[in-house]
Amino acid sequence: MIPLLLALAASADTPAMTPVEAERAFAADAKTIGQWTAFRKWSADDAVMFVPQPANAHDFLKDRKDPAKAIDWWPTASYISCDGSLAVNTGGWRRPDGKVGYFTTVWRREKDGGWKWIVDGGDDLKAARDRPAEAKVTRASCTRTGPTIESILFTPGAKLGDGRSDDGTLRWHWQVTPDGARLFMVWLRDDSGNPDVPVVIDDNIPAAR
């Protein structure tokens, strides 16, 4: 009996195998252990969120109490680097008051094989995104080499963040202007023959309203 219990305990602590599974587990935790508790649990020490200016997630959430009801969210698409070291999920969310929107979250595979989110953003929408049974998963090309990531026009005075997978097949970039307007882009290498790595996510959030 004891070996069985130990095996079950080990299974319960097994890191999520995919970024989509991590996203779903994160969303499920928000409903069971509390929204901000789940955000803290699933975020890396260097995680960034926008409030609307960029802030360290743990500093911002340190004393924040969980709401009575958590926001509900679901992944619709996941973009993964060839080497599996980095992923970006996007999807929809719905607040308890009925407001809807979308999110884009960067996930990084940690040394223990599990996933932690390192950038989380999004915005409101007038209509909710569809809720597919399975999110669309796209992995970067593991065979093609050579394409470059297009240059970015930086806005004067903007705060910037940038990162890429260990193998360079996925890159993310954000910038936030002093008024809170935000740009978030993701590139994923493919086999299309395009001389530039294509943009798969291009979120433009207007100034804080």
The reported pLDDT for the residue numbered 154 is: 79
Which residue in 188, 193, 182 sits closest to 167, CA to CA? Answer: 188
pLDDT, mean of residues 113-141: 95
Looking at the predicted structure, is the pLDDT value of residue 13 above 70? no
pLDDT, mean of residues 170-187: 95
**Residue type at position 59:** D
Mean of pLDDT over the chain: 89
Provide the pLDDT confidence category of residue 209 given band limits of 50, 70 and 90. Answer: low
Specify whether the CB–CB gap between 116 and 43 falls below 8 A.
yes
Which residue in 155, 95, 149 sits closest to 122, CA to CA? Answer: 95
Specify whether the CB–CB gap between 22 and 30 falls below 8 A.
no
pLDDT, mean of residues 113-138: 95
Q: Range of 184's domain?
A: 2-205
The reported pLDDT for the residue numbered 11 is: 38
pLDDT, mean of residues 71-90: 97
pLDDT, mean of residues 201-209: 88
Q: Picking from 78-92, 93-107, 116-130, 142-156, which range would have the lowest pLDDT averaged per residue? A: 142-156
The reported pLDDT for the residue numbered 101 is: 97
pLDDT in tens, 22-69: 999 999 999 999 999 999 999 999 999 999 999 999 999 999 999 999
Provide the pLDDT confidence category of residue 155 given band limits of 50, 70 and 90. Answer: confident
Cα-only R_g, the chain: 18
Q: How many domains does one find in the chain?
A: 1
DSSP string computed for 61-114: HTTPPPPSS--EEEEEEEEE-TTSSEEEEEEEEE-TTS-EEEEEEEEEE-TTS-
Rounded Cα–Cα distance for residues 88 and 165 (Å) = 11
Domain containing residue 67: CATH number: 3.10.450.50
Copy the structure tokens of residue 43. 């975020």
The reported pLDDT for the residue numbered 144 is: 72
**Residue type at position 144:** R
pTM for this entry:
0.88
